[in-house]
């Protein structure tokens, strides 16, 4: 680390340099002009700065203030060099951020002791800072590892549901992408948008509990069978809730409420309006649209135009109006393939 000397008096500057060379600094650099010294401090590792008050262009207090206002130099210990009778200057220097003072006439023993102590403190501060940054990086890596594992868990759970219903495998990917686009268009925080993206593929995880005779029936369901199918919402929520993992909590709310309707005529609890979790209202639009445009054992695929009209016509009844508006703003041109527009990114 360097010792930076800013002193326009040649003899004083040379004396300070000579005395500083006996410290543990890697080198001593001196300037007679504060602007040059300030630029040097911004681009080099400075351990201590010795600053005189009477300088050209800006005085020593102004230089200290400039150093303390810059993130690159604000932590440098600064020693102000003043005469014994310059009390007001010392007070101003303290207010600006000075760490210590050297009084003229300069005493070599005092200078040595001050520089040695300040250099030791500076090294300790930098060591602590480096350790803190290293710890922060370790925490960041560990956190990302946890997030990656959560995402892997989510995907594996979602793929488990796919095994029961091969016709809807790509449906999960398209719903995930469309749900995130709706959330982004609504101006929601990036964390929320990402959580919806990763949690939405588990919206039908509860179908693991639905018998094949109902789940894979190649025709309309009876009223009794429909009630059995509707139980996949509560079954999915029970499977996902209570883990203590925030992402799975989001997925649990989606699984439970993605078949609720904005007008209160949905299931399983007949929730209405904003009583339905926002993430579920978002997924409801993406899920229904993609289900309509996909071939299923019990129906043929609708055209994109028909599905878009259905979503628009059910704005405020089946679906949250804001979510519909956001979806239609991101919807594909009516002649374009739904798969081309809403395919899950490979990233």
The per-residue pLDDT for 341 is 38
Residues 124, 184 within the same domain? no
Domain CATH code at residue 40:
3.40.50.2300
The per-residue pLDDT for 280 is 98
Residue 250 is encoded by which pair of tokens? Answer: 């989001």
Residues 187, 327 within the same domain? yes
Give the number of domains in the chain. Answer: 2
Distance CA 197, CA 191 (A): 10
Ranges of residues in the chain whose predicted pLDDT is under 70: 22-26, 84, 161-169, 297, 332-347
Residues 196, 123 within the same domain? no
Q: Is residue 146 in some structural domain?
A: no
Chain centroid offset of residue 125 CA: 28
The residue from 111, 133, 155 where one domain ends is 133
Walk across the sheet containing 27-31 and list its strands.
Answer: 27-31, 2-6, 46-52, 78-83, 100-104
Q: What would the pLDDT profile of 265-274 be if each residue is shown by its tens digit?
A: 999 999 999 9
CA distances from residue 218 to 164, 231, 294 in whole angstroms, order as listed = 14, 19, 14
Q: Is residue 169 in some structural domain?
A: yes
Q: Are 19 and 105 in contact (CB under 8 A)?
A: no
Residues 180, 116 within the same domain? no
Cβ-in-10-Å burial (0-12, 13-18, 19+) of 179 comes to: buried
pTM of the model: 0.59
Q: Is residue 140 in some structural domain?
A: no
State the angle between helix axes of 108-162 and 10-20 in degrees (0 to 180), rounded to the nearest 10. 70
Domain CATH code at residue 283:
1.10.3210.10
Look up the domain containing 35 and give its range.
2-133
Distance CA 278, CA 48 (A): 55
């Amino acid at each position: 680390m360097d010792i930076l000397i800013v002193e326009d008096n040649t003899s004083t500057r040379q004396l300070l340099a000579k005395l500083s060379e006996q410290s543990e600094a890697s080198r001593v650099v001196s300037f007679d002009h504060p602007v040059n010294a300030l630029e040097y401090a911004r681009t080099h590792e400075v351990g201590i700065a010795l600053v005189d008050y009477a300088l050209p262009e800006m005085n020593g207090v102004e230089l200290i203030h400039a150093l303390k206002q810059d993130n690159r130099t604000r932590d440098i210990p600064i020693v102000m060099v003043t005469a014994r009778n310059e009390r007001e200057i010392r007070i101003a220097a303290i207010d600006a951020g000075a760490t210590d003072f050297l009084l003229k006439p300069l005493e070599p023993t005092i200078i040595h002791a001050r520089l040695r102590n300040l250099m030791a403190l500076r090294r300790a501060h930098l060591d602590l800072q480096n350790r803190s940054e290293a710890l922060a990086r370790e925490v960041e890596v560990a956190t990302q590892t946890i997030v990656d594992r959560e995402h892997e868990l989510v995907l594996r759970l979602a793929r488990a549901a796919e095994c029961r219903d091969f016709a809807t495998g790509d449906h999960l990917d398209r719903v995930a992408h469309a749900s995130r686009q709706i959330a982004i268009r609504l101006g929601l925080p990036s964390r929320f948008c990402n959580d919806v993206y990763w949690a939405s593929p588990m919206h039908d995880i509860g179908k693991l509990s639905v018998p094949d005779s109902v789940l894979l029936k190649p025709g309309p369901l009876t009223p009794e069978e429909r009630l059995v199918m509707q139980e996949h919402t509560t079954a999915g929520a029970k499977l996902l809730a209570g883990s203590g993992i925030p992402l799975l909590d989001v997925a649990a709310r989606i699984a439970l409420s993605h078949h609720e309707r904005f007008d209160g005529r949905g299931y399983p609890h007949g929730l209405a309006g904003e009583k339905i979790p926002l993430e579920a209202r978002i997924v409801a639009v993406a899920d229904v649209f993609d289900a309509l445009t996909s071939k299923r054992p019990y129906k043929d695929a609708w055209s994109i135009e028909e599905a878009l009209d259905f979503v628009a016509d059910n704005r405020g009844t089946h679906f949250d109006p804001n979510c519909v508006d956001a979806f239609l703003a991101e919807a594909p041109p009516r002649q374009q393939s739904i798969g081309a527009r809403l395919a899950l990114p490979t990233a």
